[in-house]
Amino acid sequence: MTTLHPNGAYEQVEFAAAAADRALDAGGGIVRLAPAWVPREFCTPGRRIRLHPDDYYPLGKDRGGIDERWLSSAIRADNGPLTGPFEGLSLVVDPDGGALIPFDEFVAHHGAALIGARLWDKFGKWPMYSKFFDNQQALPFHFHHRDEDAAKVGKLGKPEAYSFSPHMNNHLGDHPISFFGFQPDATREQFRERLARFAEGGDNRVTDLSVGYRIQLGTGWDVPVGVLHAPASICTYEPQAASDVFVMCESWSNNREVPAGLMWKDVPEESIGDFDYIIDLLDWDANADSSFGVNRFMAPYETRSPRESDEGAVERWVVYKSVAASGKELTVRPGATISVTDSDAYGLIVVQGHGSIGAHDVEAATVIRFGELSGDEFFVSAEAARAGVTVVNRSSVQDLVILKHFGPGNEDLAEDQPPQ
């Protein structure tokens, strides 16, 4: 039986080669993943990621509420000294009921046989993860580092992307507007002055320098490294690079002060207090791009296959401008059975309906208790993806809807560009 560790992770977690082999073989190259919940002290849960209503603060007020569920993650969250031992890390379910298997070690064990030679040879690990970010209000204005800057604090850079699934948004929260970048006439001096006001308390009003966009469900945005952003209060599907690095720039959010230390948590010790160092981390041209909306907005478009007209299913690219990852939404109509092929390994999450994927029964979650397993998240090996995965919708009335997240350089995307 799987039980809850006092620090918030599952208690029975260990790597064993025999269990790792058994999990991959039993599922025909598809493995089931346990939910990976992540709290954030600076956020207020939006309560749309299908946790039980009593379980959004399972670790206490000091750790903050559960705002994120990480998907296909081979990294751990960085939430300071109280971070749980497996926080943010996906765990593979042993089909024989044994201990859960850390996904990073699972990937290292199987290597190219799991994620494909292209990604394994280039990265030597699974290089992305996705998440559901679920906040009742907008997230504070922040940005993520480039690789070379993140390396100074022992991390990787983090380009990311947003997709706003209607299936995860029964409400839009308190502030369904995202801020991106700067107004074209904003200056370094204005931004530096807002940063300096962070430590004074109250609201430093840094988003006065930015541009707000009303969010449309079913669409998305590309968010490159070095670009400031304050994501809307929408439950957001976020494929991104495998890193948890950021600089917080807004001092007031969620009706409370943002801890000042979050501005400096990923800054070298010798540069703490140097606002010009933070400004130099930005990609100023990208932030002040007068065509930011045109260049970064993503409307979904259909993949070449499957198409609804001939297979009872439709698949759409929902994330396709990011250098770090890409994403699809697959909708299988009631009663339909299809076979879907992809060139790369991918993680997936079922957001509506029930049926089967390969040898696994699947169902979208309704209510999940913190620390319990679910049947909605899986990882598909490169070999299984290329051979074709059989997907069955067992409902007679409801679509089966699946979100799929891929690593960088997806070969299918290179051949399936959006219409101009």
Whether the pLDDT of residue 124 is over 50: the answer is yes
Q: Does residue 90 lie in a domain region?
A: no
Instruction: Convert the pLDDT of each residue in 14-36 to its tens digit.
Output: 999 999 999 999 999 999 999 99
CATH at 218: 2.60.120
pLDDT, residue 310, reads: 64
The encoded tokens of residue 232 equal 């809307």
The H or E element containing residue 120 is helix 117-123
The encoded tokens of residue 103 equal 């996904």
Q: Shortest CA distance to 209 belongs to which of 173, 242, 236, 180? A: 180
Q: Does residue 337 lie in a domain region?
A: yes
Q: In the chain, how many domains are there?
A: 1
Could you tell me what percent of the chain has a pLDDT over 70? 97
Distance CA 52, CA 370 (A): 7
The angle at the Cα of 256, spanning 146 to 282, to the nearest 5 degrees, equals: 15
Domain range for 397: 39-78+125-420
Residue-averaged pLDDT of the chain: 94
Q: Does residue 198 lie in a domain region?
A: yes
DSSP conformational letter for 259: P
pTM of the model: 0.95
Looking at residue 32, its amino acid is: R
Q: Does residue 217 lie in a domain region?
A: yes
Q: Does residue 10 lie in a domain region?
A: no
For every residue of 374-398, DSSP letters joined together read -SSEEEE-HHHHHH-EEEEE--SSS
Whether the pLDDT of residue 6 is over 50: the answer is no
Whether the pLDDT of residue 3 is over 50: the answer is no
Whether the pLDDT of residue 398 is over 80: the answer is yes
Q: Does residue 264 lie in a domain region?
A: yes
Q: How confident is the model at residue 4 (pLDDT cuts 50, 70, 90)?
A: very low
* Residue 155 · residue 247 · CB < 8 Å: no
Instruction: Convert the pLDDT of each residue in 54-97 to its tens digit.
Output: 999 999 888 999 999 999 999 999 988 899 999 999 999 999 99
Q: How confident is the model at residue 5 (pLDDT cuts 50, 70, 90)?
A: very low
